[in-house]
Amino acid sequence: MKKTVLTGVKPTGNVHIGNYIGAIRPALHMAQAEHESLFFIANYHALTTIQDAKELRDNTYHVTAAWIACGLDPQKTIIYRQSDVPEIFEIAWVLSCYCPKGLMNRAHAYKAKVQLNEQEGKQDLDFGVNMGLYQYPILMASDILSFDTDFVPVGEDQIQHLEIARDIAQKINHTYKSQVLKIPQAVVQKDSKVIPGLDGQKMSKSYDNTIPLFAESKSLRKLVMKIKTDSLPPEAPKQTEGSVIFQLYKEFASQDEIATLAKRFETGIGWGDAKQALFESMDKVLTPLRDKYNALIQNPTELDQILAEGAEKARQKAKHVLERVKTSTGV
Ligand code: ADP
Ligand code: TRP
């Protein structure tokens, strides 16, 4: 039996270079291994924060097109919208009946909100918390458990959510003295790198320092030219260590090119030239991705069809799990 690997992403905002190198590329790498792979857009999770219909719809298409442009093959990976698989929500209810309320009180996103309210001296510690945010981990557990998932590649911030999914599944299995739900494992990227943004901090939407993955060549060049550097003169030797330009270059250039640029840093290179080299290497790698993205995003009907076909396959799988859950619980 092939093992199942499942990845979910929230459709929030514009995909950037940090997302590509830190999350998309490694996840696609894993999907190519000898696994059955599922990938979904967690649009109901996004609804906890994005409450503008156009924004949510556009973001969902954007993320779908982005992952396919980066190499996700819908023939090999089942790709679907979370909202198109109602079985997930049915199973989520069952899970919630086995989830102690205290477990949700300790979930990090909720706890962080409460702490913030505390710091700000708010009377109501639950200010700004909707039930969707509160129960977020239960729906996420269902995303995973509804497909008999073996492996879930996640960043460190999601480890707690995986633990919650395992806890709930174990509780159900224990109650009914059988393997109703498969216990999933988190696959945490140990050597995960932090890609710096234009200002040298971690590239993040929250810091407004990103390079959008599909920026057109002209604006890509403009952004690269904005990367913060020191004021060393062109002839001065430069450190590759800690240089944003060099760090990004390493992600896009070949080994030989990297060695050549390292030499030029050593012997002195003007920042303008270094940035030009970086821009050229990025543009070379990103142009085919951008072209594919642009073609897809202009054709939402095709995206809808890909997602509908994926949902059909996903539902077949989730139906089996739902049947098992219903039979085991006596519902
Ligand atoms: P943002 O910080 O821009 O809001 P998200 O939190 O939506 O990004 O991240 C989505 C995925 O991309 C996560 O798996 C995260 O680990 C990865 N990621 C985001 N920014 C970076 C970065 N600068 N370097 C490496 N990985 C990143
Ligand atoms: N919570 C994840 C995030 O914020 C997204 C997500 C929702 C997810 N359901 C999932 C990830 C199931 C993996 C598996 O990134």
Q: Which of 32-36, 135-139, 202-206, 258-262 has the lowest mean pLDDT?
A: 32-36
Q: How far apart are CA 146 and CA 306, in angstroms?
A: 21
Closest ligand to residue 146's CA: 2
Considering only CA atoms, which residue is closest to atom 11 of ligand 2?
Answer: 8
Whether residue 204 has its Cβ less than 6 Å from ligand 1: yes
Q: How far apart are CA 177 and CA 164, in angstroms?
A: 20
How confident is the prediction for the chain on average, in pLDDT? 95
* Average of per-residue pLDDT across 295-312: 98
Query: Are the C-beta atoms of residues 103 and 167 closer than 8 Å to each other?
Result: yes
Give the pLDDT confidence of 168-218 residue by residue, as tens digits.
Answer: 999 999 999 999 999 999 998 776 678 999 999 999 999 999 999 999 999
Q: Which regions of the chain carry the CATH code 3.40.50.620?
A: 3-194+300-329
* Average of per-residue pLDDT across 69-93: 97
Q: How far apart are CA 95 and CA 65, in angstroms?
A: 32
Give the pLDDT of residue 261.
97
Give the pLDDT of residue 220.
98
Query: Are the C-beta atoms of residues 195 and 22 closer than 8 Å to each other?
Result: yes
Question: Which amino acid, one-letter code, is at 37?
Answer: S
Sheet strand arrangement including 35-41:
77-81, 35-41, 3-9, 151-154, 185-188
Question: Which amino acid, one-letter code, is at 152?
Answer: V
Q: How far apart are CA 2 and CA 19, in angstroms?
A: 28
* Average of per-residue pLDDT across 65-82: 97
3-state secondary structure of 4: strand
Give the pLDDT of residue 84.
98
Phi, psi of 21 (to 5 degrees): -75, -35
Give the pLDDT of residue 113.
95
Whether residue 290 has its Cβ less than 6 Å from ligand 2: no
Considering only CA atoms, which residue is closest to atom 2 of ligand 1?
Answer: 204
Q: 270 CA to middle of ligand 2, Å?
A: 43
Question: Which amino acid, one-letter code, is at 293?
Answer: Y
Q: How far apart are CA 93 and CA 162, in angstroms?
A: 18
Architecture in CATH for domain 3-194+300-329: 3-Layer(aba) Sandwich (3.40)
Residues with a catalytic annotation lie at 113, 202, 205
Q: How far apart are CA 48 and CA 131, in angstroms?
A: 8
Regarding predicted confidence, which is higher, 254 or 189? 254
Question: What percentage of the chain reaches a pLDDT higher than 90?
Answer: 90
Write the CATH number of the domain with boundaries 214-293: 1.10.240.10
Query: Are the C-beta atoms of residues 293 and 57 closer than 8 Å to each other?
Result: no
Of 143, 141, 147, which is closest to residue 170 (Cα–Cα)? 141
Question: Given the CA of residue 10, which atom of ligand 1 is nearest to it?
Answer: 7
Whether residue 8 has its Cβ less than 6 Å from ligand 2: yes
Q: Which regions of the chain carry the CATH code 1.10.240.10?
A: 214-293
Considering only CA atoms, which residue is closest to atom 4 of ligand 2?
Answer: 10
Closest ligand to residue 14's CA: 1
Question: What percentage of the chain reaches a pLDDT higher than 70?
Answer: 99
Give the pLDDT confidence of 232-242 residue by residue, as tens digits.
Answer: 999 999 999 99
Give the pLDDT of residue 191.
65
Q: How far apart are CA 318 and CA 175, in angstroms?
A: 21
Whether residue 143 has its Cβ less than 6 Å from ligand 2: yes
Residue 287 has pLDDT above 90, yes or no: yes
**Contact partners, residue 222, CB within 8 Å, separation at least 6:** none
Whether residue 42 has its Cβ less than 6 Å from ligand 1: no
Q: How far apart are CA 244 and CA 226, in angstroms?
A: 11
- Helix H or strand E encompassing 279: helix 271-297
Give the pLDDT of residue 71.
96
Question: Which amino acid, one-letter code, is at 139?
Answer: L
Strands 185-188 and 151-154: parallel
Whether residue 140 has its Cβ less than 6 Å from ligand 2: yes
Retrieve residue 28's tokens.
């696609």
CB atoms within 10 A of CB 218: 9
Q: From 5, 6, 9, give the residue whose CB has the most ligand 2 atoms within 8 Å, as the site to mutate.
A: 9
